[in-house]
Structure formats: structure tokens, C-alpha cells
Amino acid sequence: MKIIVDTNIVFSAILNTEGKIGNLLIDSEKQFQFFSTDYLRFELNKHHQKLKYFSGLSDFEIEEAKYRITKYIQFINIEIIPEQIWKEAGKIISDIDIDDIDFVALTISLGGYLWTGDKELNLGLKSKGFTKVITTNELWERREKFLIK
């Protein structure tokens, strides 16, 4: 199952690598394939000090957490996404949060599910008929079903 990971999920995982989100990213490679936009790497570097402040971790510990979390994510150059998909994503996301257009476009392009902790985004997308959105708890439940088999 292809899972597109948004920025808030990765930030949450870095802030608590031992939590549910960190566990899903680190220990689910047999069940899920994780993807994100290459721009997420820039976001991680841009907000390094913010992550450091909120986590109380040292620079080294932040870098280690970034590595542990992102090594299971395949980063995709968004320039490969066809224009028609950008237009479709734009129609869906325009009045929700245009900053998330990259993640919606990548989700459509890969035929996966967008994993977000942003409740407004989740509800907004679903209200527009875009059902390829998954929450942390839903993803956890799916993984548990795989592990039971």
C-alpha cells in the first residue's frame, strides 16, 4: 500500500520517534511504501531550530531522528507529476489549504493514500469526495491486521 506522508506527520515523528507515528514509519516497511515530496527535506532543514526547541533534543539528536524517520520514505521530485494532475489537485484543495497541493497531487499521481494529522485537511478533502486520506489510527489498524495474518 502506497502512503504519501505530509509534513506534519514527519515533524510529529521526529519530535517523538518512539510514539505511534514514529513506530509506523520505522517499523512498517513490510506493510507500506512511504512517499513524500522532495520539498519535505527542505522543510525539515528550514524548521530545524523549531524542531530542536519543541523537542528539547540536541542538533545531533535531531539529525539522528530525521535520519531514522526519513530513511523509510521515498522522496519524489514533484516536477514529474503531469500538469493534468496538478489541475485536478488544485480544484480539490483550492479552498482547503493550497499549501498542501503537492501532497494531494503526489497522492493522485501514485494512486496512494495521503497520511495526514491535519483534521481540517482530512475533513475538507473527504467533503470534496477525495477519500484517499488516512489517519494515524486508521493506518495503525491496517498494519495490525497485516501483522495478525
86-107 pLDDT tens trace: 999 999 999 998 889 999 999 9
DSSP H or E run through 85: helix 83-93
**CATH T-level topology, domain 2-148:** Rossmann fold (3.40.50)
Length of the chain: 149
Q: What is the DSSP letter of 98?
A: G
Question: Taking the domains of the chain in order of start, what are their residue ranges?
Answer: 2-148
24-53 pLDDT tens trace: 999 898 899 999 999 998 998 899 889 888
The whole-number pLDDT of residue 55 equals 86
State the burial class of residue 32 (Cβ atoms within 10 Å of its Cβ: 0-12, 13-18, 19+): buried
pTM for this prediction: 0.90
**Confidence grade of residue 140 (pLDDT, cut at 50, 70, 90):** very high
The whole-number pLDDT of residue 101 equals 94
DSSP H or E run through 65: helix 59-70
Contact 98, 125 (CB under 8 A): no
